[in-house]
Structure 1
């Protein structure tokens, strides 16, 4: 009996360390710069955990090396600034397309593959305003009067793309003009929540001009013509929780995936769920797993990875922050989802702890005092991500 009890105790302690229940309270002593730990591979171990099937990993490895690879990130403010994604575009995937973008950029958010200019459009966000129907991504731009316009320029070397526009109009709608002075009418089509139009070989920059008041743009899918399509797009919303997708129109999401299927999807939620005064683990897991199911149903052979958030702290007073009381519960739930759904997982908090902890990250200018990292911090986190993923895939 004593041997059995010792065996069970050993299993329990091992499990706690593996998911970070106990070890996360500790901060390792680190000599030198945290950046050096990634660059010289001194850092103790991978921040990636994999519960995925062997054949799924093999498929992902082959897709990353192929001519056609589509990667998408859904997430909260950690992804909304596009710093993490930008680093991956420069080192992990060489893109030739823009992917899916919002009609305009919300405040404190950005999509670095394009530049915007606009006049007389109002922006609505599915995170804070539930009075509208939203296309995939949950950002809506509505014309305040006839003549309102949005100009979008490509920041990539490529300037010619196919475009699918999702919009709503009562009658006249919009006219889209490209650099070659070609005009395309975006009028009302039937009774669908959102109409869509697919345009071929459109040269950027483009302008979308409203021909009536209260016409709406829900999003644009911008991709290179042909088979060799490569892009990494990011659909992040500041303050978003894991159930934000329930506010988006599922038909537009299906149409996006039908046009260009995703090969690799990252879901990066949890920070804002940890701020809830009462965290409902069952609801969190159900809505998150429902999203995973939906993505799998509409993206054949997709690989999905969860990102567990960095150390979540909340403000106590003007000077002090403390760990969110629900942080470990959220983190544990994310690990459970990864295991139950057979997914890969990248643990930002784990990397921060293994490289000295949040206090050292703040000291070295890699983290803010609140939940967010600095620009350099997100770059470093992306560098760690791609290095760990590359090393992990090399074992298959």
Structure 2
């Protein structure tokens, strides 16, 4: 049987032909290999260079190789964070004519590390919790897409920091199955496997002395289940909001924030009965909101201020007719953000007279007004709007705040 390379890109077979396919992967010469950390795998896995790209090469039987290749392509079409499938090589034989196992080739995710390798370093417990949060997000996204992983572990997951965000990526889809939807039993089974695998790997690291002494392997395995369940409930609970109840959307965002997640994307679908809201979460690094707000709007604010303003910007964008995430013909976020600054942020801040602002900068003023609108809307059980909030803030809140800040003159 002749060597065959099934690839997603016509250019890849030419580059891949340069690799020594007549040599068992475990015996590949160092000149072809790239020394990168690997997780534990039941198969032989090596990183190699093909042209300007670094690839991951995994030996396995032909049928599971082709199946995993197609599953990874499906996940890519669904927008799920996973490694990119490049090719499957079959028909390999050694120099004596003996058959060799086929290989699955994926693109190495630049700047990534296996989760297991991250836990082998001296990480602070807070960072470990964020890593687990990112893994919980990945599991939720997979299950929402109808994908049952079947082998979630620290070795089968890559971690990458991208523009301040913590993201987890699926590496091994060999045991996975894609369905239209998953039952609660399928999700629970997948989650229980993740708990057992993760606790087992952490116990292994603990035995080797590589785990931070403050980390309890069993508790960490249980924690990811708890984080998953909280996130799943908050994300999958369908909310239908009648007209004028948009402050309920902010309540949903606040609950996600309290869980430790931020809203990466929000979708509002209009229906005859009301508006349904869908959120996509992410785990972010310190200072992420400051950088994001500055990039989108040019506004320089403190981290908590920036987070609050970005939430308001996201809510406002979702109500705009030309807001359609993923649509190349829709308005770009930068364009919508500029419109928000021009039509919403600046007019609202300017409504507060300069002599009443004191030492508050524009971002703090807007933050205060948003908080006041939130409390008034909660009390009224409908969105009162910014104009009403500004009027009440100027009349009832700001004068009292000024009296508190101004020093008293002794008699």
TM-score range, shorter chain: under 0.3
**TM-score of the two chains, using structure 2 as the length reference:** 0.25
Give the structure, 1 or 2, with the largest relative contact order (CA under 8 Å, sep 6 or more).
Answer: 1
Q: Larger strand proportion, structure 1 or 2? A: 1
**TM-score of the two chains, using structure 1 as the length reference:** 0.26
Q: Larger helix proportion, structure 1 or 2? A: 2
